[in-house]
Amino acid sequence: MPDHRAALRFALGRNGEHTDVMATRAQVMALLDSGHSVETAARRLDLAPGLVYMIATGRPADDSDSPHPDELRGRPVLPGGAQHLVNPPAQNPTRNQEVIDWVRERAARELRGSG
């Protein structure tokens, strides 16, 4: 006999102990309005952060749809985007100390007025 409840728990709760009750938008927004981040609200509701974001905004956290900009007007926006709610950590370093040191060494050696 298939355990459909287990499957639903897998879908909705990360820890598998939840029931098939889905949080409402009102519940999600209440938590967010009270100062919770998407991540902490997700923990409180035992939902995946991306799902909480979707309930709150109506949009998938990976932004896999492309609404018209007019449709986005007035929707809550997560600073820095929402991809981190569903994707593994992103790598996008913008600083490199080794290069800074190398630049300083070259500048000192090669440029006029470098003393």
Partner 1 sequence: MTDIRLPAPSDWPVLRQLRGTDRLGRGAATKSRGSAALTARTHTADRVVKSVCPYCAVGCAQNVFVADDRVIQIEGDPDAPHSRGRLCPKGSASLQLTTGSSREQHVLYRAPHAADWERLDLETAMNMVADRMVATRRDGWEWEREDKRVRRCMSIAALGGATLDNEENYLIKKLLTALGIIQVENQARVCHSSTVVGLGTSFGRGASSTLPADLQNSDLIVLEGSNMAEAHPVAFQWVVEAKARGATIVHVDPHYSRTSALADLFVPLRAGTDIAFLGAIINHVLTTESDFREYVVAYTNAPTIIREDFEDAGGDGLFSGFDPDLPGYDPQSWQYQDAFVAAAAGQRDQEGNLPAQGPGGEGQRREDAGGEPQMDLTLQHPRCVWQILKRHYAGYTPEMVQRVCGVPQEVFARVCELFVANSGRERTTAFVHGVGWTQHTIGSQYIRAASILQLLLGNMGRPGGGVMAMRGHASIQGSSDIPTLFDTLPGYIPMPHAHSHHDLEEFVAGNAANKGFWGNMRDYTVSLLKAWWGAAATDANEFCFDYLPRLTGSHSTYDTVMEQIAGTVKGYILFGQNPAVGSANSRMQRLGMSKLDWLVVRDFSLIESATWWKDGPEIESGEMRTQDIATEVFFFPAAAHTEKDGTFTNTQRMVQWHHKAIEPVADQRSDLWFTYHLGHLIRQRLDGSADEMDQPVLDLTWNYPTEGPYDEPNAVAVLAEISGWRADGELLSAYTELKDDGSTSCGCWIYCGAFAEGVNQTARRKPASEQNWTGGEWAWAWPANRRILYNRASADPEGRPWSERKALVWWDAEQGKWTGHDVPDFQADKPPDYRPAEGATGPDALAGDDPFIMQADGRGWLYAPAGVAEGPLPTHYEPQDSPVRNALHRQQRNPSRQVYDHENNRYHPDPGAPGADVFPFVATTYRLTEHFTAGGMSRWTPYLSELQPEFFVEVSPELAGDRGLTHGGWAMIVSARGVVEARVMVTDRMTPLQVDGRTIHQVGMPYHWGPNGYARGDSMNELSAMSLDPSSHIQEVKVLTVDVQPGRRPRGAQRHALVTEYRERAGITAQTGMAP
Contact between 26 and partner 1 per CB under 8 A: no
Nearest distance from residue 59's CB to partner 1, in Å? Answer: 10
Contact 38, 78 (CB under 8 A): yes
Tell me how long the chain is: 115
Which residue number, 21 or 30, has a Cβ lying nearer to partner 1? Answer: 21
Q: How far apart are CA 32 and CA 57, in angstroms?
A: 11
Nearest distance from residue 77's CB to partner 1, in Å? Answer: 5
Nearest distance from residue 104's CB to partner 1, in Å? Answer: 3
> Rounded to 5 degrees, what are φ and ψ at 38?
-60, -40
- Residue 31 DSSP symbol: H
Residue of 15, 35, 68, 74 that binds partner 1 (CB under 8 A): 68
Contact between 72 and partner 1 per CB under 8 A: yes
Contact between 30 and partner 1 per CB under 8 A: no
Q: Which two tokens stand for residue 1?
A: 């006999």
Cβ burial of 59 (10 Å; 0-12, 13-18, 19+) is middle
Binding site for partner 1 (CB under 8 A): 1-4, 7-8, 10-12, 19-22, 62-64, 66, 68, 72, 77, 79-81, 83, 86-96, 98-100, 102-104, 106-115
